[in-house]
Structure 1
């Protein structure tokens, strides 16, 4: 399954010394991903190939408390693609589990 969407970058402060950056998979697409039969993985994660601009990497998306999946945006990608907190991001995900 391949999905594409536009979202916003948001910051989550895990601890005082560490911040993580994510974008949320839209609710409708998250529901479609949830319906894919797959083995259970830790924290309900789903393996994906992600692409933002010219950056591509393998990672996992995770369910959030609001029911949407969230995609972590590592620093190398944020730097290469000039992503900033609150800014827009266009994402292509290939779901590998299922």
Structure 2
């Protein structure tokens, strides 16, 4: 039996399959396509994440303030992220604390294995936030950017 080369419409990769079904796809390839479809559907859902985390001041220059996302939230965002869409593994998000909402990006942090959410000075001023406070964050991936 010869090995058939098929092009996968999900990723544009070639698959070698020895046993093809009547429709031209073997069971493994059909599972692969179902997984691609399920992943695309999950990514299209604009899931909001709500959590409490401590606001902290970056020790370097600039006075940057960050919140480290809980590990569980970070894992879900990594799963829902579109691979290679943005540089450095960052993800565009819409964040809200209190009554203030802003658009920004979260960045992967190797030390924590999570993402860092920068909290702008304007947001801190409006909400009267200081480093060391635990704040409630509502975070949603921003598919428009």
TM-score under structure 2 normalisation? Answer: 0.62
Deviation at 1:26, TM superposition (A): 0.2
**3-state SS, counterpart of residue 28 of structure 1:** helix
TM-score under structure 1 normalisation? Answer: 0.90
Moved over 4 A (4+): none
Deviation at 1:37, TM superposition (A): 4.1
Aligned ranges for residues 4-83 of structure 1 at < 5 Å? 4-15=50-61, 18-40=62-84, 41-65=86-110, 66-83=112-129
Higher RCO (C-alpha 8 Å, min separation 6): 1
Structure 1 unmatched ranges of 5 or more: none
Q: Which structure has more strand as a fraction of its residues?
A: 1
* Structure-2 separation of matches of 1:49 and 1:36: 15
Query: Superposition RMSD on alpha carbons, in Å?
Result: 1.2
How many residue pairs get aligned? The number is 95
Structure 2 unmatched ranges of 5 or more: 1-46
Larger radius of gyration: 2
Q: Which structure has more helix as a fraction of its residues?
A: 2
